[in-house]
Amino acid sequence: MKRILVATLLALSSCTVHKINKSLSKSDVFDKGHLGFMLQDPEKGKTLVEINSGKYFIPASNTKIFTFYTAYSILGDSLVNGLNYLEKGDSLIFWGTGDPSLLHPDLKDETAIDFLKASNKKLFLLDNFDQVDAYGPGWSWNWYPYYYAAERSALPVYGDIVRFEKEKGETDFTVYPERFKSAMENDESESSRPYSFTRKHQKNRFPYQFKTEAKDSEFESDIPFITSRELTKILLEEATGKSITMISNPSYFEEEPKKLLSAPADSIYAQMMKISDNFLAEQLMFLVSDQLTNKLDISEAISYSKENLLNDLPDEPRWVDGSGLSAQNMFTPRSIIALLGKIRQEVPLEKIKAYFPAGGESGTIRNWYPADPGQPPYIYAKTGSLSMANSLSGYLLTKSGKILHFSCMMNNYAIPSNDLKTELQKVLYFIHDKY
């Protein structure tokens, strides 16, 4: 009887896997582009479905899974390094580590400001700004007014953005930081939108519209500002109320600095993964570089990760930035599956659930992949979206109690991304319900 039961269960499982495979390979939607898919049952050590799993795809923000794993491995889940500094006589010499949390409108860390305020020494900002390019390799220049391409910096302040925000019941919007109020310009061009905010190219000038009908709205709009060593110095002086002198002396970089700990890495990981925050992803890789070498070089951080953390992946990652904004990134589904397995082994499940977007509940998939009414999320996965590139990779919890690993990578689809998501949602729910 026991053998009959086992044979029956195996037959049912095989039938389910066949149906999953057919729903992907025979789909009229997925047939319109290039699909890579892999589904693994780690408990059995068994690959259930493989479609082009060894081929390279542009991952978009699935790159952040690699960034997360690298940062978690090097920085841990405690406090990140907010500043490097040296004390010499009556002088405090400090420089940036790439920490994105300083006065960030969501993270709001003031550790470095309080530290500089409390010092009785003369303050000197050591210039390491040339170590960081504002844009990553392959980024498009015309992304400049959009939050998803906020400039990278050696020492970000306010998240390198201006936040325009209006709460319900308020009659006017606020500007954070307030210093940029004087840089706003009324935009009198015709528009059907009740409000809009943008930035002029190569200028920290912010055209905006705020019409009468917008007074009943609530909104939050983040617009990148152009970073520079000079502006950073001014912002720090305004925040500390102290005079700061900019200096250039490469010999100081040869000394071992003291490190000022600032924001919890946990909070940065969660925001980066849940809302797919490109700025935080880039800056995390600079923090990794700082931790490894006391320099800010994402390419070195990536090389270290590939050689020391990811050298057991089945296919070498083609990896150039932290966020996935670059179409030069290319990964295979089976390498992402291998990485998801490494994360499961090294990161507690409750932390994975806290970091990854949850289907129907949080982050970039709060409106997709919902569980049955009254049930907890069954998808914890990272999205990825660029022009003609969509990805979703992560963990799928089945009704039978299994945790499966999956990676779906979709490239060169000239159809609406919602069509792809709708089709994938059917497939993932079937797996959740039947496997």
* pLDDT for residue 14: 80
Give the whole-angstrom CA distance, residue 435 versus residue 183: 57
Give the whole-angstrom CA distance, residue 405 versus residue 281: 23
Residue 218 in this model has a pLDDT that exceeds 70: yes
Q: Span 6-20, mean pLDDT?
A: 67
Other residues' Cβ atoms within 10 Å of the Cβ of residue 386: 17
**Are 380 and 273 a contacting pair, CB within 8 Å?**
no
Residue 171 in this model has a pLDDT that exceeds 80: yes
* pLDDT for residue 215: 87
Give the whole-angstrom CA distance, residue 281 versus residue 346: 20
- Looking only at the bridges linking them, the beta strands covering 206-210 and 184-186 are parallel
Query: Which residue carries 């912002």 as its tokens?
Result: 235
Query: Which residue carries 């066949």 as its tokens?
Result: 18
Give the rounded percent of residues in the chain with a pLDDT score beyond 90.
94
Q: With CA atoms as reference, report the closest residue to 199 among 175, 166, 163, 223.
A: 223
Beta-carbon contacts of residue 379 (< 8 Å; ≥ 6 apart):
358, 359, 360, 365, 369, 394, 395, 396, 397, 428, 432
Residue 8 in this model has a pLDDT that exceeds 50: no
Q: With CA atoms as reference, report the closest residue to 225 among 132, 155, 158, 173.
A: 158
CATH fold label, 17-71+287-434: Beta-lactamase (3.40.710)
Residue 338 in this model has a pLDDT that exceeds 70: yes
Classify residue 90 by burial, with Cβ atoms within 10 Å: 0-12, 13-18, 19+: exposed
The identity of residue 267, as a single letter, is S
Residue 127 in this model has a pLDDT that exceeds 60: yes
Q: Does the model's pTM come out above 0.85? A: yes
Structure tokens at 147: 């939050």
What band does 1 get if pLDDT is binned at 50, 70 and 90?
low
Q: What is the pLDDT of residues 363-410, one digit of tens each?
A: 999 999 999 999 999 999 999 999 989 999 999 999 999 999 999 999
Mean pLDDT of the residues in the chain: 95
Q: Which H or E run includes 307?
A: helix 298-308
- As a dihedral over the C-alpha atoms of residue 390, residue 391, residue 396, residue 399, rounded to 10 degrees, the angle is 20
Q: Where are the domains of the chain?
A: 17-71+287-434, 158-226
Q: What is the pLDDT of residues 240-295, one digit of tens each?
A: 999 999 999 999 999 999 999 999 999 999 999 999 999 999 999 999 999 999 99
**Are 357 and 369 a contacting pair, CB within 8 Å?**
no
What band does 3 get if pLDDT is binned at 50, 70 and 90?
low
Q: What is the pLDDT of residues 289-334, one digit of tens each?
A: 999 999 999 999 999 999 999 999 999 999 999 999 999 999 999 9
The identity of residue 247, as a single letter, is I
